[in-house]
Amino acid sequence: MDPNMDPKTLSQSLSPSKIHAAHTLIKPYIHRTPLLTNKTLNSLASTPQTPDALQGTPYEGQTPAEPKINFFFKCENLQRIGAFKARGAFHALLRLIEEKGEDEVRQRGVVTHSSGNHAQALALAAHTLNIPAYIVMPSISTTAKIEGTKTYATKVVFSGSTSTEREAVVAEVQAQTGAILVPPYDDFNIICGQGTTGLELEEQYLELVRDPRLSVHGASGSGLDAVITPIGGGGLNSGVATFFSDKSTRVFGAEPSFEGADDCRRGLEAGERVTSVKSLTIGDGLRTPVGVLNWEVISDTKKVEGVFAVTEEQIKAAMRLVLERVKVVVEPSAVVGLAVCLYNEDFRRIVEREGGDKGWDIGIVFSGGNTTVEAIGKLFS
């Protein structure tokens, strides 16, 4: 696929069949991560918020929404390197080898920039396929992500935190080494790889709801009502939206609101992509602006029906629930979708209105689990 193609034209080439083809290619290299359910979180999500929780919001004094929600958690925190990014990295690298030949890719190596999860993913994929990898990381990246990347990378180079600063260092590395850029999210093959998360999620959901007690629809359900993923650069959300684009499942995005990290939500409201983000949200994997190609998918309301934002406190509250009730380790970025379902009254009213008496089965992608005991302790101290 020509990366120089007009983004709108390129986005129209993204199709469910491309996601299926990506899955076939990467399946030997990735984990089929579990899909978990949890009655406690279903009950919490299906209980109205307290009036106190709505103070200071546009819904203060109004009757809280009372949606009916059953969750299905796709645990990409248990993916190789602890995040969904392994899918896109392996797919992009395998396609690059197909296109340029193994000898050229091995001779030149690959380079990328990332706050951590794509960094680790590309380093792992390159190490697995015996290709040099030069990884540019912001110096404020978490220690766990830096150490995880160093395990597999040929070289880690540090940069400032904004995408502009990262890209400048990437250009320097390329000038020195001739390495081929594998973008962290704004790339056709990355999007196709990340979209395989949605493919597995649907397959596993259909297997699980053979037990009709797990679905809000009982024995009458035919598919997930909705899927919600975090949005940073937008590779995961646009890939999942591409997979579900020929189905009735609705796709939504979730972002932190802190210091303008909800660039996608704001861009959709304004009608144009926000090109820069400078936020120190605890959702460190979501500090980047949505990519150009990703924007073409996400801004298409036939593919993504809406993007919602949550506060730092709501992210922490959702993270605590996952740690204590689901018993899996997640990083803050991973739980923004769950936080939207639990605390964003705009989203909850949609589910209440359109789900009716039965409600919705909602797939939540836990995007990653790269954190440490010390970092979790600091968050909740």
Q: Catalytic: which of 11, 18, 114, 115?
A: 115
Rounded Cα–Cα distance for residues 316 and 222 (Å): 33
Instruction: Return d(Cα 289, Cα 267) in angstroms, integer.
Output: 10
Active site residue 215: no
Q: Retrieve residue 342's tokens.
A: 């639990």
> What φ, ψ does residue 70 adopt, rounded to 5°?
-115, 130
Between helix 235-243 and helix 16-26 the angle, nearest 10°, is 110
Task: Confirm whether 68 is a catalytic residue.
Answer: no
Residue among 85, 145, 163, 303 flagged as catalytic = 85
CA distance 37 to 326: 8
Dihedral sign (CA 140, 142, 147, 149): negative
CB 208 within 8 Å of CB 101: no
Residues 184 and 232: beta-carbon distance below 8 Å: no
Strand-pairing partners, residue 307, are 253
CB 182 within 8 A of CB 77: no
Structure token digits, residue 162? 């904004």
Q: Is 353 exposed, middle or buried (0-12, 13-18, 19+ CB in 10 A)?
A: exposed
Q: Which amino acid is at 343?
A: Y
162's CB contacts (< 8 A; 6+ apart) are 276, 277, 278
- What span, in angstroms and rounded, lies between the C-alpha atoms of 351 and 69? 8
In angstroms, the CA 187 to CA 33 distance is 24
To which H or E segment does residue 39 belong? helix 39-45
Active site residues: 85, 115
